[in-house]
Amino acid sequence: MSLLEVNDVKITYQTPDSEVHAVNDVSFSIEEGDNYGLVGESGSGKSTIAKSVLGLLDDNGAVRSGSVTFKGRELSGLSEEEWRDVRWEEIAYIPQSAMDSLDPVMSVGAQIRQSIRKHRDVSKAEADDRVDEVFEIVGLDPARTGEYPHEFSGGMRQRVTIAMALALDPDLIIADEPTTGLDVIVQDKIVHKLLEIQEEIDSSLLLITHEVGVVAETCDKVSVLYGGKVMEQGDTDDVFGNPQNPYSMGLKNAFPEVDEFDQQAISIPGSLPELTEPPTGCVFRNRCPFATEACESEHPDLVESADQVSACHHVEDASEMQTDATDPLT
Ligand code: ATP
Ligand code: MG
């Protein structure tokens, strides 16, 4: 049994004049101890998936079909009280921009203590001991628990949010863009800290990012998302070492530091299609340099290719595409 299983999930948002098909038939599973990456550009549905796992979708969002199970237990249909136990105690969530949403008028230690005492029947002193402990785990000085968010740098504030996530000893940590907005050196420190912590507390990690380099450094397995669809899925080394999908190839080229070859950064021209219509044809076809007529009829299924799975009507030509993709995708 996997720790987390997301099966064929479809999620839409209702807006005044349309319906946004944000996530379409997404499936992936995380085994105990795994570091799993969800990568894709802005708007590909990453945060929507994270929020649906935690039952925290925006009010206008709904899971239309599919299921999410955690340790074999179906999560949809939990009562608010049951959700409260799952959140934080079992699955901790570091939301996108968490470090900017710390309460500015409460010391960081008091914020962590408050979240501990919301879930555990412990004394203030016991909660404070735990705050000191998690401060140490994330590499912050416990002498600083009485300070306010503005007294910390961006990287340190992010460590505070990680400390808060760890406080209840979760089995899975979901971190949504934990390094965005931080400079490269601090990003690297945060990534290494997350890995160190995960080993220490023996949890699993679902890491959401648009940066291939971060996934390559952190995650054993990855799903590459585009337009609410999984385009490619497998071991990170396979997916970015030998991509089988034009979108992953483009993403990899956009982040040349993960490439063995000395390559220029290439951005993928174009932008995501409107998601207000259920996608017909391959969702990436408008930007794909290899698209043909066949790509207009239906979105391709995920099929095995090399050691991973890829959704592409031309997956059998993947090796040829890789050669071509070393040229800018124009
Ligand atoms: P980013 O990298 O920018 O955080 P993301 O991959 O996390 O992007 P989501 O935030 O999941 O993407 O958004 C997926 C799609 O759903 C986008 O088209 C977005 O505009 C849309 N969307 C998200 N929240 C809502 C909402 N509350 N109402 C309507 N549409 C929404
Ligand atoms: Mg997001």
- The CA R_g of the chain, rounded to the nearest whole Å, is 20
d(CA 22, CA 294): 24
Q: Please compute the mean of the pLDDT values over residues 303-327 and round it to a whole number.
A: 84
178 CA distance to ligand 1 centroid (A)? 17
Instruction: Tell me which ligand sits closest to the C-alpha of residue 22.
Output: 1
Q: Whose C-alpha lies nearest to ligand 1, atom 17?
A: 43
For ligand 1, say whether the CB of 96 is within 6 Å of any of its atoms: yes
23 CA distance to ligand 1 centroid (A)? 9
Which residues have a Cβ under 8 Å from the Cβ of 153 and sit 6 or more positions away? 186
46 CA distance to ligand 2 centroid (A)? 5
For ligand 1, say whether the CB of 223 is within 6 Å of any of its atoms: no
Which pLDDT band holds residue 328 (cuts at 50, 70, 90)?
very low
266 CA distance to ligand 1 centroid (A)? 24
Q: Whose C-alpha lies nearest to ligand 1, atom 21?
A: 22
Q: Whose C-alpha lies nearest to ligand 1, atom 28?
A: 13
285 CA distance to ligand 1 centroid (A)? 20
Q: Whose C-alpha lies nearest to ligand 1, atom 26?
A: 13
Using alpha carbons, list the distances in angstroms from residue 286 to 168, 229, 269, 279, 295: 45, 15, 10, 12, 10
Residue 11 has which token pair? 């999620």
Instruction: Say what the pLDDT of residue 49 is.
Output: 98
Q: Please compute the mean of the pLDDT values over residues 142-148 and round it to a whole number.
A: 97
On the question of pLDDT at 254 being above 80, the answer is no
Q: Is 33 left (phi over 0), alpha (psi -120 to 50) or beta?
A: left
Q: Among the atoms of ligand 1, which is closest to the Cα of residue 47? A: 7
Q: Whose C-alpha lies nearest to ligand 1, atom 14?
A: 45
Residue 154 has which token pair? 């961006």
Q: Please compute the mean of the pLDDT values over residues 291-315 and round it to a whole number.
A: 94
For ligand 1, say whether the CB of 47 is within 6 Å of any of its atoms: yes
Instruction: Tell me which ligand sits closest to the C-alpha of residue 176.
Output: 2
For ligand 1, say whether the CB of 60 is within 6 Å of any of its atoms: yes
Task: State yes or no: ipTM above 0.90.
Answer: yes
The separation between CA 199 and the C-alpha centre of its own chain, rounded to angstroms, equals: 19
Q: Using one digit for the tens of pLDDT, what is the confidence trace for 48-66?
A: 999 999 999 999 999 999 9
298 CA distance to ligand 2 centroid (A)? 26
Q: Please compute the mean of the pLDDT values over residues 265-280 and round it to a whole number.
A: 76
Which pLDDT band holds residue 316 (cuts at 50, 70, 90)?
confident
Q: Using one digit for the tens of pLDDT, what is the confidence trace for 123-140?
A: 999 999 999 999 999 999
Q: Is the dihedral of CA 8, 22, 274, 233 positive or negative?
A: negative
Using alpha carbons, list the distances in angstroms from residue 171 to 9, 70, 101, 206, 235: 22, 10, 24, 11, 21
Global confidence as pTM: 0.93
For ligand 1, say whether the CB of 149 is within 6 Å of any of its atoms: no
Which residues have a Cβ under 8 Å from the Cβ of 29 and sit 6 or more positions away? 2, 3, 4, 5, 6
Closest CA to 28 of 235, 230, 307: 230
For ligand 1, say whether the CB of 38 is within 6 Å of any of its atoms: no
